[in-house]
Chains A and B, each alone.
Chain A
């Protein structure tokens, strides 16, 4: 029988596990959140789009290796224990993140810079692949029967909260530094801070005990000698791995990445919302949405995991297009009435310090929004008096009042879908696999669903939208949503038909 763990004891387990997982997510997300500045520092700057896409590719590389981390560390976790394995992943993640903050730029060391970034990003992906399964398993194996959904949902909050913390740290760093300081060295601060957080988490985790279920299995000699073979070479277990992937994790992954990343990218690159304002709006929605992980985790203990998760997927399938249509309309100037008499134009003449001529036009609209358009006229040879110039135009929209609140609400709805699909999934995955191969078996579908189906979402959706734009489709901005909609729809049908409400792990023998 399961060893009884006191309420105080389980809070200690939750605290230690969640803090470490939170830090790992923070480490993973600051790279994505700072991808634009990273692209200018580490990748050839001749073509900003190419540089940005290279960063996205690096980002994808970070996701693609996650399943390999799941296999490598999952196997270790089932062989030597959960506690030691996720200590290793924590140190690996912290070290890689800290080192990204230390790498000299492309201008200083050339091609070596992006190469080192890529290697460290791969290490981050490997570490994350091992961390999550360990933390979820560790907590679930401490939780009383019938309450796994509630207790593991605390671990589920860490991914969203990690993104939130990463946004807050970046915003605070920007707040305390000037734009040029942040661009020069300030962007490194969020990376460097990681080492302190990881050290604190290490100190807390060091004194934790091994999970009671794993300890018991080990004492009885019932641990696996070859977790990979038993997980994926055993037909009975393999069919659960496939069901977990195609009936739950795949849809959960795309809903998660649509709500947290596609929405951010959509606000910044399609709606042209000011970057800081977009971060703030997402941050507020995340803050309001995060408690619902626990609400839906607890609900899944009472009504079962299946329909809580599938409700989130179904709502996403049915409402993503109307939600994004409504978001687009908020900043669509063709729907706005400009207060022409309020329009201002400021011209910053070139000087010896800044050879650029900047014309800033601010337009105010009747709904309280305003837009800033900067036309930057730059001499091709950097001189004040030059014969040739190139002009760059940058536009940003700023919202206030009802539109600001409406946009927060639209993002919040998407976060709510995330909490529905993600809140119960750790308990669901833990419960369908036996203790001896749990870490390996649950980690792989989770990280394929999130790392590959979810992680590739920005690239695939951008590709679909770009193609539609090229074909002069008036609703090109909605076309990228077909990817999460189709994946979620297929996942919903598979989950609804094939997952049994009371599906639990059975002995493989």
Chain B
């Protein structure tokens, strides 16, 4: 189990990168350049609030998992 927790750290980092790509390329930027006021607000929230939290937060979580910070003896 402890090894699975470590290996899955890579998955969380990949997921963080994928989320960043989708949030920026699929949701955020198209909304911001759409020119519609309501879309711009939505795009800004996605790009500057949701994306950093998910991608940086999940990335750091994945790094901690990969480096064994969530092993039983370190909790």
Is the CB–CB distance between A64 and B49 below 8 Å? yes
Number of chain B residues whose Cβ lies closer than 8 Å to a Cβ of chain A: 27
Is the CB–CB distance between B58 and A246 below 8 Å? yes
Q: Mark A176-195, 1 if CB is under 8 A from B, else 0.
A: 00000000000000000000
* Nearest residue, chain B, Cβ from A245: B57
**Nearest Cβ on chain A to B16's Cβ, whole angstroms:** 10
Is the CB–CB distance between A459 and B42 below 8 Å? yes
Q: Mark A444-471, 1 if CB is under 8 A from B, else 0.
A: 0000100010001001100100000000
**Nearest Cβ on chain B to A211's Cβ, whole angstroms:** 26
**Tally of contacts, chain A with chain B, CB under 8 A:** 60
Is the CB–CB distance between B65 and A50 below 8 Å? no
With contact pairs A50-B37, A242-B61, A459-B42 given, residues A452 and B53 touching in the complex (Cβ less than 8 Å): yes
State whether the Cβ of B29 lies closer than 8 Å to any Cβ in chain A: no
B41 / chain A contacts, CB cutoff of 8 Å: 54, 57, 60
Q: In whole angstroms, what is the CA distance A53 to B58 when docked?
A: 29
Partner of B60, one of A56, A57, A242: A242
Is the CB–CB distance between B45 and A497 below 8 Å? no
Q: Mark A225-249, 1 if CB is under 8 A from B, else 0.
A: 0000000000100110011011000
* Nearest residue, chain A, Cβ from B38: A53
State whether the Cβ of A503 lies closer than 8 Å to any Cβ in chain B: yes
**Nearest Cβ on chain B to A239's Cβ, whole angstroms:** 5
B-contacting residues, A241-294, CB 8 Å = 242-243, 245-246
Is the CB–CB distance between A239 and B49 below 8 Å? no
Q: In whole angstroms, what is the CA distance A354 to B68 when docked?
A: 72
Is the CB–CB distance between B53 and A497 below 8 Å? no
**Nearest Cβ on chain B to A233's Cβ, whole angstroms:** 13
* Nearest residue, chain A, Cβ from B15: A490
Interface residues of B (CB under 8 A from A): 1, 4-5, 8, 12, 15, 27, 36-38, 41-42, 45-46, 49-50, 53, 57-58, 60-61, 64-65, 69-70, 72, 75
